[in-house]
Protein backbone atom coordinates (compact mmCIF):
# COMPACT_ATOMS: atom_id res chain seq x y z
CA UNK A 1 0.00 0.00 0.00
CA UNK A 2 1.34 3.41 -1.05
CA UNK A 3 -0.46 6.76 -1.33
CA UNK A 4 -0.41 6.65 -5.15
CA UNK A 5 -0.33 2.92 -5.92
CA UNK A 6 -1.62 -0.41 -4.63
CA UNK A 7 -0.13 -3.83 -5.33
CA UNK A 8 -2.67 -6.67 -5.35
CA UNK A 9 -2.01 -10.41 -5.30
CA UNK A 10 -4.61 -12.72 -6.82
CA UNK A 11 -5.53 -16.27 -5.79
CA UNK A 12 -2.82 -17.74 -8.04
CA UNK A 13 -0.06 -15.64 -6.49
CA UNK A 14 0.33 -13.25 -9.41
CA UNK A 15 0.54 -9.54 -8.60
CA UNK A 16 -0.63 -6.41 -10.34
CA UNK A 17 0.15 -2.81 -9.37
CA UNK A 18 -2.44 -0.12 -10.04
CA UNK A 19 -2.03 3.65 -9.96
CA UNK A 20 -4.57 5.48 -7.77
CA UNK A 21 -5.95 9.00 -7.68
CA UNK A 22 -7.02 8.43 -4.05
CA UNK A 23 -4.86 7.54 -1.03
CA UNK A 24 -6.16 4.21 0.34
CA UNK A 25 -3.50 3.78 3.04
CA UNK A 26 -5.80 5.04 5.84
CA UNK A 27 -8.71 2.95 4.53
CA UNK A 28 -7.33 -0.46 3.57
CA UNK A 29 -5.00 -2.57 5.69
CA UNK A 30 -2.23 -4.62 4.11
CA UNK A 31 -3.47 -8.16 3.48
CA UNK A 32 -7.13 -7.18 3.08
CA UNK A 33 -9.25 -8.95 0.49
CA UNK A 34 -10.17 -6.46 -2.23
CA UNK A 35 -11.67 -6.40 -5.71
CA UNK A 36 -10.15 -3.92 -8.17
CA UNK A 37 -11.35 -2.63 -11.54
CA UNK A 38 -8.61 -0.96 -13.56
CA UNK A 39 -7.75 0.22 -17.05
CA UNK A 40 -4.39 -0.81 -18.60
CA UNK A 41 -2.61 2.06 -20.34
CA UNK A 42 0.93 2.49 -21.73
CA UNK A 43 1.89 4.46 -18.60
CA UNK A 44 0.57 1.74 -16.27
CA UNK A 45 -2.62 0.26 -14.82
CA UNK A 46 -5.00 2.99 -13.65
CA UNK A 47 -7.50 2.13 -10.91
CA UNK A 48 -11.17 2.73 -11.74
CA UNK A 49 -12.74 1.34 -8.57
CA UNK A 50 -11.57 -0.50 -5.45
CA UNK A 51 -13.95 -2.55 -3.33
CA UNK A 52 -12.58 -3.27 0.14
CA UNK A 53 -13.81 -4.35 3.59
CA UNK A 54 -15.53 -1.69 5.69
CA UNK A 55 -13.66 -2.92 8.78
CA UNK A 56 -9.87 -2.95 8.79
CA UNK A 57 -7.28 -3.93 11.40
CA UNK A 58 -3.98 -2.14 10.83
CA UNK A 59 -2.66 -3.80 14.00
CA UNK A 60 -3.81 -7.24 15.27
CA UNK A 61 -6.80 -7.09 17.62
CA UNK A 62 -4.93 -8.91 20.41
CA UNK A 63 -2.17 -6.31 20.28
CA UNK A 64 -4.70 -3.48 20.48
CA UNK A 65 -6.38 -5.04 23.51
CA UNK A 66 -3.00 -5.60 25.14
CA UNK A 67 -1.66 -2.08 24.62
CA UNK A 68 -4.72 0.10 25.23
CA UNK A 69 -6.40 0.59 28.62
CA UNK A 70 -7.65 4.17 28.38
CA UNK A 71 -9.27 5.90 25.42
CA UNK A 72 -11.01 9.19 24.70
CA UNK A 73 -13.85 9.56 22.22
CA UNK A 74 -13.69 12.38 19.69
CA UNK A 75 -17.22 12.71 18.28
CA UNK A 76 -18.73 14.39 15.25
CA UNK A 77 -22.51 14.56 15.34
CA UNK A 78 -23.75 14.81 11.78
CA UNK A 79 -27.22 13.50 12.68
CA UNK A 80 -29.55 14.93 15.39
CA UNK A 81 -29.81 12.86 18.59
CA UNK A 82 -26.63 10.92 17.77
CA UNK A 83 -25.02 11.76 21.13
CA UNK A 84 -26.71 8.76 22.73
CA UNK A 85 -25.33 6.41 20.10
CA UNK A 86 -21.78 7.67 20.72
CA UNK A 87 -22.25 7.21 24.48
CA UNK A 88 -23.46 3.65 23.91
CA UNK A 89 -20.36 2.91 21.85
CA UNK A 90 -18.23 4.05 24.78
CA UNK A 91 -20.29 1.96 27.20
CA UNK A 92 -19.86 -1.15 25.03
CA UNK A 93 -16.08 -0.74 25.09
CA UNK A 94 -16.07 -0.22 28.86
CA UNK A 95 -18.25 -3.26 29.53
CA UNK A 96 -16.53 -5.67 27.14
CA UNK A 97 -12.90 -4.55 27.26
CA UNK A 98 -12.66 -3.01 30.70
CA UNK A 99 -11.25 0.16 29.15
CA UNK A 100 -11.60 3.54 30.77
CA UNK A 101 -13.46 5.63 28.19
CA UNK A 102 -13.25 9.39 28.68
CA UNK A 103 -16.61 11.05 27.94
CA UNK A 104 -17.20 12.53 24.47
CA UNK A 105 -17.89 15.91 26.09
CA UNK A 106 -14.26 16.02 27.23
CA UNK A 107 -13.07 15.24 23.71
CA UNK A 108 -15.22 18.06 22.35
CA UNK A 109 -13.95 20.50 24.99
CA UNK A 110 -10.28 19.69 24.35
CA UNK A 111 -10.83 20.04 20.60
CA UNK A 112 -12.53 23.41 21.14
CA UNK A 113 -9.64 24.68 23.25
CA UNK A 114 -7.09 23.35 20.77
CA UNK A 115 -8.72 25.24 17.93
CA UNK A 116 -10.90 24.52 14.93
CA UNK A 117 -8.35 22.21 13.35
CA UNK A 118 -11.06 20.04 11.83
CA UNK A 119 -12.38 22.82 9.59
CA UNK A 120 -11.30 22.50 5.96
CA UNK A 121 -11.40 26.29 5.67
CA UNK A 122 -8.34 26.42 7.91
CA UNK A 123 -6.35 24.42 5.36
CA UNK A 124 -6.82 26.29 2.11
CA UNK A 125 -3.53 27.21 0.45
CA UNK A 126 -3.74 31.03 0.11
CA UNK A 127 -1.49 31.02 -2.96
CA UNK A 128 -3.57 28.51 -4.95
CA UNK A 129 -6.95 28.60 -3.22
CA UNK A 130 -6.88 24.79 -3.15
CA UNK A 131 -7.41 22.49 -0.16
CA UNK A 132 -4.03 21.47 1.29
CA UNK A 133 -4.43 17.82 2.34
CA UNK A 134 -0.97 17.63 3.91
CA UNK A 135 -1.64 20.67 6.08
CA UNK A 136 -4.97 19.19 7.17
CA UNK A 137 -3.43 15.81 8.06
CA UNK A 138 -0.65 17.48 10.05
CA UNK A 139 -3.23 19.46 12.02
CA UNK A 140 -5.26 16.30 12.69
CA UNK A 141 -2.12 14.50 13.86
CA UNK A 142 -1.32 17.37 16.23
CA UNK A 143 -4.89 17.28 17.60
CA UNK A 144 -4.64 13.54 18.32
CA UNK A 145 -1.38 14.00 20.21
CA UNK A 146 -2.90 16.89 22.17
CA UNK A 147 -5.98 14.83 23.09
CA UNK A 148 -3.87 11.94 24.35
CA UNK A 149 -1.71 14.24 26.46
CA UNK A 150 -4.56 16.32 27.91
CA UNK A 151 -6.83 13.36 28.73
CA UNK A 152 -3.95 11.09 29.80
CA UNK A 153 -5.15 8.19 27.66
CA UNK A 154 -3.53 5.64 25.36
CA UNK A 155 -5.61 6.22 22.26
CA UNK A 156 -8.32 8.29 20.56
CA UNK A 157 -11.49 6.84 19.07
CA UNK A 158 -12.92 9.10 16.39
CA UNK A 159 -16.66 8.50 16.00
CA UNK A 160 -18.28 10.29 13.10
CA UNK A 161 -22.06 9.89 12.76
CA UNK A 162 -22.97 11.10 9.29
CA UNK A 163 -26.09 11.41 7.16
CA UNK A 164 -25.93 9.75 3.74
CA UNK A 165 -28.35 8.76 0.98
CA UNK A 166 -29.07 5.01 0.99
CA UNK A 167 -30.46 3.30 -2.09
CA UNK A 168 -33.46 1.02 -1.58
CA UNK A 169 -34.97 -1.60 -3.87
CA UNK A 170 -38.31 -3.31 -3.21
CA UNK A 171 -38.50 -1.25 0.00
CA UNK A 172 -35.21 -2.61 1.41
CA UNK A 173 -32.33 -0.16 1.89
CA UNK A 174 -28.77 -1.43 1.55
CA UNK A 175 -25.77 0.67 2.60
CA UNK A 176 -22.46 0.36 4.44
CA UNK A 177 -22.80 -3.28 5.39
CA UNK A 178 -26.42 -3.27 6.58
CA UNK A 179 -29.91 -3.82 5.17
CA UNK A 180 -33.08 -2.35 6.63
CA UNK A 181 -36.71 -1.96 5.49
CA UNK A 182 -37.85 1.57 4.72
CA UNK A 183 -41.30 0.82 6.15
CA UNK A 184 -43.02 -1.08 8.96
CA UNK A 185 -44.52 -4.54 8.40
CA UNK A 186 -48.01 -3.27 7.47
CA UNK A 187 -46.65 -0.80 4.91
CA UNK A 188 -44.25 -3.42 3.52
CA UNK A 189 -47.15 -5.81 2.98
CA UNK A 190 -49.22 -3.14 1.28
CA UNK A 191 -46.28 -2.25 -0.92
CA UNK A 192 -45.82 -5.87 -1.94
CA UNK A 193 -49.40 -5.89 -3.20
CA UNK A 194 -48.90 -2.71 -5.25
CA UNK A 195 -48.72 -3.11 -9.06
CA UNK A 196 -45.37 -1.30 -9.21
CA UNK A 197 -42.01 -1.64 -7.48
CA UNK A 198 -40.97 1.03 -5.00
CA UNK A 199 -37.30 1.95 -5.40
CA UNK A 200 -35.29 5.08 -4.69
CA UNK A 201 -33.09 6.70 -2.05
CA UNK A 202 -33.68 7.52 1.60
CA UNK A 203 -31.61 9.47 4.17
CA UNK A 204 -29.78 7.16 6.57
CA UNK A 205 -27.27 7.35 9.42
CA UNK A 206 -23.83 5.78 9.08
CA UNK A 207 -21.11 5.55 11.74
CA UNK A 208 -17.43 5.78 10.86
CA UNK A 209 -14.96 4.88 13.63
CA UNK A 210 -11.18 5.19 13.72
CA UNK A 211 -8.94 4.15 16.61
CA UNK A 212 -5.57 5.95 16.72
CA UNK A 213 -2.70 5.49 19.15
CA UNK A 214 -0.79 8.21 20.98
CA UNK A 215 1.39 8.88 17.92
CA UNK A 216 -1.61 9.20 15.61
CA UNK A 217 -1.09 5.77 14.02
CA UNK A 218 -4.30 4.21 12.74
CA UNK A 219 -4.95 0.92 14.57
CA UNK A 220 -8.47 -0.03 13.52
CA UNK A 221 -11.27 1.44 11.44
CA UNK A 222 -14.85 0.48 10.71
CA UNK A 223 -17.75 2.01 8.84
CA UNK A 224 -21.24 0.65 9.38
CA UNK A 225 -24.75 1.83 8.62
CA UNK A 226 -26.97 2.41 11.65
CA UNK A 227 -30.56 3.29 10.70
CA UNK A 228 -32.74 4.76 7.98
CA UNK A 229 -33.92 8.25 8.94
CA UNK A 230 -37.21 8.25 6.99
CA UNK A 231 -39.94 5.60 6.74
CA UNK A 232 -42.66 5.13 4.16
CA UNK A 233 -46.24 5.70 5.24
CA UNK A 234 -49.10 4.04 3.36
CA UNK A 235 -48.97 2.66 -0.15
CA UNK A 236 -47.91 5.90 -1.84
CA UNK A 237 -44.51 7.49 -2.01
CA UNK A 238 -44.87 9.46 1.22
CA UNK A 239 -42.30 9.35 4.00
CA UNK A 240 -42.14 10.50 7.59
CA UNK A 241 -39.02 11.46 9.53
CA UNK A 242 -37.67 8.80 11.87
CA UNK A 243 -35.56 10.41 14.64
CA UNK A 244 -32.80 8.38 16.26
CA UNK A 245 -34.65 8.70 19.57
CA UNK A 246 -37.21 6.33 18.03
CA UNK A 247 -34.49 3.90 16.93
CA UNK A 248 -33.07 3.72 20.48
CA UNK A 249 -36.38 2.34 21.75
CA UNK A 250 -35.46 -0.95 20.10
CA UNK A 251 -32.93 -1.89 22.78
CA UNK A 252 -32.25 -5.34 21.33
CA UNK A 253 -31.66 -3.88 17.87
CA UNK A 254 -29.17 -1.29 19.16
CA UNK A 255 -27.29 -3.95 21.17
CA UNK A 256 -27.16 -6.17 18.08
CA UNK A 257 -25.70 -3.27 16.08
CA UNK A 258 -23.06 -2.59 18.76
CA UNK A 259 -21.98 -6.23 18.69
CA UNK A 260 -21.79 -6.24 14.88
CA UNK A 261 -19.86 -2.94 14.74
CA UNK A 262 -17.48 -3.51 17.66
CA UNK A 263 -17.52 -7.25 18.32
CA UNK A 264 -14.24 -8.03 16.57
CA UNK A 265 -12.26 -5.49 18.57
CA UNK A 266 -14.28 -5.90 21.79
CA UNK A 267 -15.91 -9.34 21.82
CA UNK A 268 -18.83 -9.64 24.21
CA UNK A 269 -18.26 -11.37 27.54
CA UNK A 270 -20.60 -14.14 26.40
CA UNK A 271 -18.49 -14.75 23.29
CA UNK A 272 -15.28 -14.78 25.33
CA UNK A 273 -16.75 -17.26 27.82
CA UNK A 274 -17.89 -19.55 25.00
CA UNK A 275 -14.53 -19.54 23.22
CA UNK A 276 -12.61 -22.84 23.42
CA UNK A 277 -9.84 -22.82 25.99
CA UNK A 278 -6.28 -23.65 24.94
CA UNK A 279 -4.96 -26.87 26.50
CA UNK A 280 -2.40 -26.40 29.25
CA UNK A 281 1.23 -27.13 28.41
CA UNK A 282 2.36 -30.57 29.64
DSSP string across 165-180: EEEEETTEEEETTEEE
Give the residue among 90, 89, 147 at the shortest CA–CA distance from 117: 147
Alpha helices (H) in 37-165, listed in sequence order: 61-67, 83-97, 104-114, 133-151
Q: What is the pLDDT of residue 131?
A: 44
Domain residues of the chain, as ranges?
5-53, 54-101+154-268
Q: What is the pLDDT of residue 117?
A: 47
Question: In angstroms, rounded to a whole number, what is the distance separating the alpha carbons of residues 94 and 257?
Answer: 16
**CA distances for 147 relative to 73, 134, 156, 171, angstroms:** 10, 20, 7, 43
Q: What is the pLDDT of residue 263?
A: 95
For 250, how many CA atoms within 13 A lie in the half-sphere containing its CB?
Answer: 12
- The CATH number assigned to the domain with range 54-101+154-268 reads 3.30.160
Q: What is the pLDDT of residue 12?
A: 83
Which ranges of the chain have pLDDT less than 50?
117-121, 123, 131, 188-196, 272-275, 277-282
Question: In angstroms, rounded to a whole number, what is the distance separating the alpha carbons of residues 263 and 218?
Answer: 18
Amino acid sequence: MEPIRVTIQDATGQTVTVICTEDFTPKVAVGSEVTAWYTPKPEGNFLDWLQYPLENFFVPADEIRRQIKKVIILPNYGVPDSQELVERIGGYLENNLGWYVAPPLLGEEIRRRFGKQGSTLEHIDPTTGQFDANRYLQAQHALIEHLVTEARVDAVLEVNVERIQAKFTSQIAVWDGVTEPVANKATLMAGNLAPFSINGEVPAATVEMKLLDAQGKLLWANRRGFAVLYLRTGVGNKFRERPLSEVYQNEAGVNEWLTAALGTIAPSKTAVAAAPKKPANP
